[in-house]
Amino acid sequence: MNDNSRRNFLKLTGGTVGAAMLPFLKVLPAQAQSSGTLVVVSGQTINSLDLHRTGTNRASYQVAVNCYDRLVSFGTKEAPGGGLSYDYSVIEPELAESWTISDDGLTMTFQIKSDATFWDGRKVTAADVKWSFDRAVSAGGFPTVQMRAGGLERPDQFEAVDEETFVITLDRPSKLTLPDLAVPVPFIINSEVAMANATEDDPWAMEYLHTTPAGSGAFKVARWEQGQQLVYERNDAWVGGPLPSMERVIVREVPSPATRRALLERGDVQMSFNIPNRDAAELSDMAGIDVYSTPIENCIHCLCPNFAFEPFQDANVRRALAYAIPYEAIFQTAAYGRGVPMWGGEDEITDVAWPRPSPFATNLERARELMAASNYASGFEVPLSISLGLADWMEPTALLMQEAFAEIGIITEIERIPGANWRTAALVEKSLPLHLENFGGWLNTPDYYFFWAYKEGHLFNSSNYRNEEIEQLVDDTLHMAMDNPAYAPNVMRMFEIAFEDLPRIPLWQPALNVAMNGADGYEFWFHRQLDVRPLSTTST
């Protein structure tokens, strides 16, 4: 932190002390604004500044977004829930000036902006891009997997032709490649700085970049106190997009949602990111506070009956569940009406819109009939598993389901599983007979969703579902261009099977809630992390 800002801060503190004498005077935000500072509170904790590092958690992805650039980025559009949203259909340049794709779709050539520089003033070169991509595909774990989704698998696919020309060679064309370059993972690192700090057993400088980013992004990290706050400071030389209006953005970690809400309401912070549905519902009625609840694309909260558990191999039982669920009550109590209902859709599937409501709706009569028709007319007992990490929506949901299922003779005991074992039990071992699940695909196409959630053995197919036709359909469709005539029929067929077999019973499409008090310019991103670049403060 440089001198003038230090002095700046002292001036500030002087001011606040004076203000503190008159407790009711809310001068803090005013002070913050005058110095071009925006304060955001969030419940998540950042545990690394390097997305590629193993063990880096979701919250840390925002660093990749805000401090690094990718070759390309997504466009912006009006979001359904109000405010702005990224636009999956529009790919915009970020570090790349322009790009061309060969007719066979196997070669992509990028021209890097010639005025793009890293924070240390060095020019961004194709070599840097190559090094960064190599790193992404070699790091293992999530980044590698994500790269692979776009058909980017081996270093030899990347080539730095000259300083400003970067070429990607694909094994097969895919509609996912270009979008996959716009996700946080393939961000571009200052390879010289990185390599200067690489070691024998740490060739990718994981340890160094873990605490000290070296990029070209819109913001630098001024200070990072793990578990407390991350302070972004603007990089005035940024060429990746319009220069952010905020000089400094402070992301403060506050675990207690109640406290976060209090801070926002009192205007001590300008923004609270990812707030509980209830707060969203209540705050949205308050004057001076803007709440954006953006339905999360390609994400559905589901109830998953596990096929490994005998009774759920009986289609009637699964459908009985689907009819027994008190959708509306759950939607109101667990989600406080934030998000999009995913029940009571029409039976006829005529479009490829996704997520889409299931044809089911609460109907205990129907449910009872189905149970009677099943091989388990006398009912059975089964644990209903939820994750402690997601208790805020899962718990009320589970409680209401428990009551409803008891009505049709399915006795459930609610099992709360700590965050650590949740993934293992639910997704890796797929051992939970009946549980709630909330997969959301980053790349916004139905087939991408089905790839992860309906294909056997894939991580989010926690129901151990297998259907030959689905397997085939997904493989065919995954990389198929959307304008391909076969695309729509395939996808709609998937929908039919999905609602027929019900390995996942849709509940609702969740919303990402953000509340702002004196801030503006929030934009929703599929990665559900905060992009601070477009933010600005509004004078109150």
Partner 1 sequence: MMAGMTAPHPSRTAGQKNDTTLGHIVYVLKDNPVTMLAFAMLAFFMGCALFGPLLVPYDPLATNAARALEAPSWDHWFGTDNLGRDVFSRVVIATRLDLTISVAAVALSFVIGSILGSITGYWGGWLDAVLNRLLDTIMAFPLFVLAMGVVAALGNTIENIIYATAIINIPFYARLVRAEVNIRRNAGFAQAAKLAGNSDLRVLAVHIFPNALPPMMVQVSLNLGWAILNAAGLSFIGLGVRPPTPEWGIMVAEGANFIVSGEWWMAVFPGLWLMLAVFTFNLLGDGLRDIVDPRKRT
Partner 2 sequence: MSPRSKMILGRVAQAIPVVMGVVVISFLLTRALPGDPAAYFAGPAADEASIAEIREALGLDKSLFQQFFFYVGDLVRGDLGTSLTTGQTVTSDLAARLPASLELTLVALLLSCAIAIPLGVLAATRPGTWVDHLCRVLVTAGVSMPTFFTGIALIYVFYYIAGLAPSPLGRLDFIYLSPQHVTGFYLIDAALAGDLETWIAALKQLILPATTLALFTLAPIARMTRAAMLSALSADFIRTARAAGLGSRKILYGYAFRNALLPVVTTLGMVFSFTLGANVLVEKVFAWPGIGSYAVEALVVSDYAAVQGFVLAMALLFVVLNLIIDIAYALIDPRIGLK
Interacting residues with partner 2 (CB under 8 A): 1, 6, 9-10, 12-14, 16-17, 20, 23-24, 28, 31-32, 37, 39, 45, 47-48, 53-58, 140-142, 144-146, 210, 225-229, 250, 252-256, 258-259, 262-263, 265-266, 268-269, 388, 418-424, 428, 452, 459
- Residue 17 neighbours by CB under 8 Å, 6+ apart: none
Residue 400's binding partner out of partner 1, partner 2, none, with CB under 5 to 8 Å set by partner kind: partner 1
The minimum distance between CB 211 and partner 2, in angstroms, equals 8
Q: Is 265 in the site for partner 1 (CB under 8 A)?
A: yes
Q: How far is the CB of 414 from partner 1 (least distance, A)?
A: 6
d(CA 463, CA 401): 18
- The nearest distance, CB 435 to partner 1, in angstroms, is 15
Q: Mark 517-537 as b/e (b = at least 16 C-beta within 10 Å).
A: bbbbbbbbbbbbbbbbbbbeb
- Nearer Cβ to partner 2 (304/502): 304
Told to check if 279 binds partner 1 by CB under 8 A, we report yes
- Partner from partner 1, partner 2, none binding residue 531, C-beta < 5-8 Å depending on class: none
Selection from 348, 355, 350 nearest residue 445 by Cα:
355
Q: Which does 424 bind (CB under 5 to 8 A by kind): partner 1, partner 2, none?
A: partner 2
CB of 261 to partner 1, least distance (A): 5
Compute the Cα dihedral for 93, 97, 103, 106 and give only its sign: negative
| Partner in contact with 225, chosen from partner 1, partner 2, none, beta carbon below 5 to 8 Å by kind | partner 2
Q: Measured from the CB atom, is 285 or 365 closer to partner 1?
A: 285
278 touches which of partner 1, partner 2, none (CB within 5 to 8 A by kind)?
A: partner 1
Candidates 97, 395, 476, 520: give the one binding partner 1 (CB under 8 A).
395
Contact 404, 327 (CB under 8 A): no
Compare residues 114 and 256 and give the one whose CB is closer to partner 1: 256
Q: Name which of partner 1, partner 2, none residue 428 binds, using a CB cut-off of 5 to 8 Å depending on partner kind.
A: partner 2
Residues with Cβ < 8 Å from 344, sequence gap 6 or more? 327, 357, 358, 359, 360, 361
Residues 518, 30: Cα–Cα separation, whole Å: 10
| Residue 489 contact among partner 2, partner 1, none, beta carbon within 5 to 8 Å by kind | none
Q: Which is nearer to partner 1, 273 or 376 (CB)?
A: 273
Query: Smallest distance from the beta carbon of 451 to partner 2, in angstroms?
Result: 11
**Binding-site member from 402, 431, 464, 538 for partner 1 (CB under 8 A):** 402
Distances (CA, A) of 469 to 423, 450, 501, 519: 27, 12, 12, 49
Q: Of these partners, partner 2, partner 1, none, which one is at the site of residue 257 (CB under 5 to 8 Å by kind)? A: partner 1
34 binds partner 1 (CB under 8 A): no
CA distances from 231 to 123, 225, 235 (A): 25, 9, 13
Phi/psi of residue 243, nearest 5 degrees: -60, 130
Do 411 and 264 form a contact (C-beta atoms < 8 A)? no
The residue to which tokens 């605490």 are assigned:
211
Cα separation, 247 vs 284, in Å, equals 28
Q: How far is the CB of 142 from partner 2 (least distance, A)?
A: 4
**Structure-block tokens of residue 162:** 């000259």
Parallel, antiparallel, or unpaired for β 505-509 and 434-437? unpaired
> What backbone torsions phi and psi does residue 338 show, to the nearest 5 degrees?
-85, 130
Which two three-digit tokens encode residue 244? 């952010």
CB-CB contact of 480 with 323 (8 Å): no
The answer to whether 467 and 494 have CB atoms below 8 angstroms apart is no
CB of 155 to partner 1, least distance (A): 42
Q: Residue 398 touches which of partner 1, partner 2, none (CB < 5 to 8 A by kind)?
A: partner 1
Between 288 and 418, whose beta carbon lies closer to partner 1? Answer: 418
Please answer whether residues 271 and 290 qualify as being in contact, where contact means their C-beta atoms are separated by less than 8 angstroms: no
Q: Is 231 or 398 the residue whose CB approaches partner 1 more closely?
A: 398
396 contributes a contact to partner 1 by CB under 8 A: yes
Mark 335-374 with x for binding to partner 1 (rule: CB under 8 A) and - for no binding. Answer: ----------------------------------------
Least distance to partner 2 from the beta carbon of 429, Å? 9
Q: Residue 118: which of 198, 191, 36, 49 has the closest Cα? A: 191
The sign of the dihedral angle between the CA atoms of 427, 525, 129, 219 is: negative
Closer residue to partner 2 in complex, CB, 68/448:
448
Task: State yes or no: residue 413 binds partner 1 (CB under 8 A).
Answer: yes
Residue ranges in contact with partner 1 by CB under 8 A: 256-259, 261-262, 265, 276, 278-279, 282, 326, 329, 332-333, 388, 391, 395-396, 398-400, 402-403, 413-416, 418
